[in-house]
Structure 1
């Protein structure tokens, strides 16, 4: 009898393991003890949240998603996703918000900061949760904070998932419309010499960028600045902030200067960081013991820092595919991470001409497009994982983040406002915690808005709202400079 029970249990275990899905190497790396990354998404709504309706909408969507209905199991050094029953009540929290009466914005910020410290048990339940805060803030009537482990997917695919759960306001049965992917310009009639020169440039820039990447892995570190942290930063509380700006301003600059949206937000980031760091250096100088000559420019000369840009080489699923999958149509969607890292240089300086930031950003991006270093970096990490294991790959990846200053990302959202989980969404602002950097700057477009979102180490950057303000002011300054240039050009043409 005992032997039959043992055989039955062994057979059941084998059947479960056959149904399990192997975790991708990148997903395993993101579960490493010193590289435990979570995505935190702030969702602002036009109305108060009805928890019952919100729960019903979650129940209709997320439990059908394989990653959102799986726990992590480990056996013999193998990491696998195992499907499990989802108890929505263990993922949905509605805390008491009575303490928010005096300062609702601060209450939401403090609540989210506390979430950045709380771990999640991967073996107990799927790694996601919602926190409904029926608090009226300066930007919304109510807030929902969603926390998701990064091993469930990359930022783009998880944002796509939220879009797949949303519907048009005027047509509740229809999915929202996302902006079309930017079309690459084709140059006609490339001659053999031009093609040869392009190949030489690609090889050269790839070699330069890979040398810089390997040097960063081993010893090359950014200059020490007030926004760059040392070891242990991933364990500290994060502070989150976001501001809503006009997407029309970004498009206006884009069209006037014949650049991309990415070029614009990259230039705005360099301008905003320069403005923010200058104010810190100025305060340090004024508070110093020595009486130094006052100057509006207190930045050190030749101050250069770098940003990591992390993206998934595996094509992200479309919102149509995700919506079908969550409707149980049996569609197999590839959800794993296949991460690549690009290092972007930033020159921190105050420019007399604000448009110089956009020109430099375009030059940087044009050059990066001629490099295959991100593919080589991905291959390097895969080889490291194969030869030395996940811990070694995680250690190297941490070194890249630790030796650079911040992370930059930009994600497109729906072109019109939507209904998300049964309520009219005003904005969405994603960020990250648990990574070995003190700062992440994220841009998220939504309808006619672009949301600037900051995740920062609480001790090193206690005022992320100021950095948000500096980024938005930089966008406005660049817009005004474009207008002035257009008016000057028009007056010259008239003369």
Structure 2
């Protein structure tokens, strides 16, 4: 029995990941009397129902051996008390037939799973053993008669951690922003275990966050600039929404290495969840270098970390494509379209949200899935200057920032369903890395970035039958290096 078979052995097969909400009644005796419960029989949101077959999987590296009693107590005190994590979806007894969130009893023995893998496989390659086990989480069933979340604990050292914990949660519980915020609420500062970790205040910008009208004292020029920005915002929004609907209804991308292979029916291949550590200092260096050279007339143009990461992604996918496709025309610009998920919550201080959770006011926090989508084209081409990947990414992202496409796609998705049917500790254990991802069945490739301390994790969820995931991770690392090396060389100014 290899490590994957050992991981699967003994697991229940009560219900598959794609099954619908239960047709059962839950006794009111199961309700917890905690004051934080405020969601009795709350309808599952349309977005939550759309995400019925999707799972969020977060791999967490611990810097100390797993102390199960301490970990269990922390999960019980900090996470299991929240309403969404002690409820299930039921349909029986409701006139409209739509699922509701109903309280249920939480037995931590069902949700904290300690796995003993094949000793020979662990001894031979512990990193591979963890990777193989986490890959099984994309196909393992989960019992929908209890709250749909679980921690899988692997208590052996790897190259990056002393022990590993994998969280699997149903996507309807919340999007990655909501779940990671709640997960951070379970952590504490290593320097002071009595307080939450110090988190930076988000500095989000862009037209999607409502540029306010300038006061009269600002003068006519400021008013004209504001009026022009509103006009551009409206035009871009209309064009993007039309393009989104046209893409969904009529347009199909040609087959490339990045499009999901047709397997017939719903027999999708298993996903692998892999990650690689990148240097945040290198990303900042590239950003700062481009900030020094990009000008439009006399207007300073700011490059962001996200611009750099989109450029690195484009470069990595280009390298992978031309190596594996057989296409030799590396200067011919190809496009393929991706879906970029956008958090449409208004800008808010993460610290303020964490404090509300800490005070027991989690009902005041917007849980669930507050997601919009934008179509983000990726350029597949081999540039002579690696910095051109970031410049092209910046032009694309800047254009998308001046649009409300994400808000409209969120509304369209919900309306369609209605009409048609810093160093921290996790529960007493120091964290060495966090690698969040998601199992999205229709997609062959899903990419996440997560920054922590002075590093960035690139996390891939890949169809293991379609991708050489190690080679693709190497392409991300080499692309960042080549762009960083290009930023070191003096190249003069780039006038747009």
TM-score above 0.5, yes or no: yes
Q: Does 1:53 align with 2:70?
A: yes
Q: 2:408 aligns with which of 376, 384, 388?
A: 376
Q: Scaled by the length of structure 1, what TM-score is found?
A: 0.81
- Within-5 A mapping of 1:405-444: 416-444=422-450
1:357 aligns with 2:389: yes
Secondary structure of 1:101's counterpart equals: helix
> Structure 1 residues 435, 311: closer, same or farther in 2, change over 3 A?
farther
2:454 is the counterpart of 1:470: no
Question: Cα offset for 1:275?
Answer: 0.9
Equivalent pair of 1:73/1:82 in contact (CA under 8 Å): yes
Q: Over residues 100-141 of structure 1, what are the superposed CA-to-partner deviations in whole Å (9 max), with x where a residue is unaligned?
A: 11121211111111111012232x111111111123222222
Q: Is the 8 A contact 1:235 1:434 kept in 2?
A: no
2:247 to 203, 216, 225: 216
Q: Does the 8 Å CA contact 1:245/1:450 hold for their aligned counterparts?
A: yes
Separation of aligned partners in 2, 1:18 and 1:447: 36
- Once the two structures are superposed, what CA deviation does each residue of 1:220-239 show, in whole Å capped at 9, x if it has no partner? 12221112114557732001
Deviations 1:465-495 (A, max 9, x none): 2111111211111111111127x79xxxxxx
8 Å Cα contact 2:61-2:163 kept in structure 1? yes
Measure how far apart 1:361 and its partner are: 0.9
* TM-score under structure 2 length normalisation: 0.81
2:335 is the alignment partner of 1:272: no
**Aligned match of 1:112:** 134
Report if the CA contact (8 A) 1:314-1:337 is conserved: no
Shift in CA distance, 114/12, structure 1 to aligned 2, threshold 3 Å: closer
1:484 counterpart residue number = 489
Is residue 245 from structure 1 mapped to residue 267 from structure 2 by the alignment? no
For 1:307 and 1:279, locate their aligned partners in 2 and report how far apart those are by CA, in whole Å: 21
Q: Say if 1:94 and 1:131, in contact at 8 Å, map to a contact too.
A: yes
Alignment correspondent of 2:6: none
Distance 2:434 2:398 in 1: 29
Distance 1:247 1:11, change over 3 A: closer
Is the alpha carbon distance of 1:483 and 1:12 closer, same or farther for their aligned partners in structure 2, counting shifts above 3 Å? Answer: closer
Counterpart mapping for 1:447-458 below 5 A: 447-458=453-464
Deviation at 1:192, TM superposition (A): 5.0
Q: Aligned residue for 1:307? A: 338
Aligned-partner Cα distance in 2 for 1:386–1:324: 32
Contact 1:205–1:371 (CA under 8 A) maintained in structure 2 = yes
Partner of 1:151 in structure 2? 172
RMSD, aligned CA: 2.8
Larger fraction in helix = 1
Question: 1:14–1:138: structure 2 CA closer, same or farther, 3 Å change rule?
Answer: closer
Gaps in structure 2 of 5+ consecutive residues:
1-24, 32-37, 292-302
**Partner SS state of residue 482, structure 1:** helix
> 8 Å contact 1:234–1:433 — kept in the other structure?
no
Q: Counterparts in 2 of 1:68-467, with a 5 A limit?
A: 68-75=85-92, 76=94, 77-97=97-117, 98=119, 99-122=121-144, 124-182=145-203, 184=205, 190-191=221-222, 193-231=224-262, 235-258=268-291, 259-281=303-325, 284=326, 297=328, 299=330, 301-315=332-346, 318=350, 320-322=352-354, 324-325=356-357, 328=360, 331-389=363-421, 416-461=422-467, 463-467=468-472
> 1:20 offset after TM fit, Å?
1.9
**Structure 2 CA distance for partners of 1:129 and 1:323, relative to 1, 3 Å:** farther
Segments of structure 1 that go 5 or more residues without pairing to the other structure are 1-9, 286-296, 390-415, 490-495
1:329 to 1:180, Cα distance in 2 relative to 1, 3 A: closer
Change beyond 3 A, Cα 1:12–1:236 = closer
Task: Tell me if the contact between 1:175 and 1:320 (Cα under 8 Å) persists in the aligned partners.
Answer: no
The answer to whether the 8 A contact 1:131-1:145 is kept is yes
- SS in structure 1 of the partner of residue 147 of structure 2: coil
**Aligned twin of 1:39:** 56
SS of residue in 1 equivalent to 2:276: strand
Distance in 1 between residues matched to 2:344 and 2:288, nearest whole Å: 28
> What is the alpha-carbon distance in structure 2 between the residues aligned to residue 326 and residue 174 of structure 1?
10
User: Shift of residue 459 of structure 1?
Assistant: 0.9
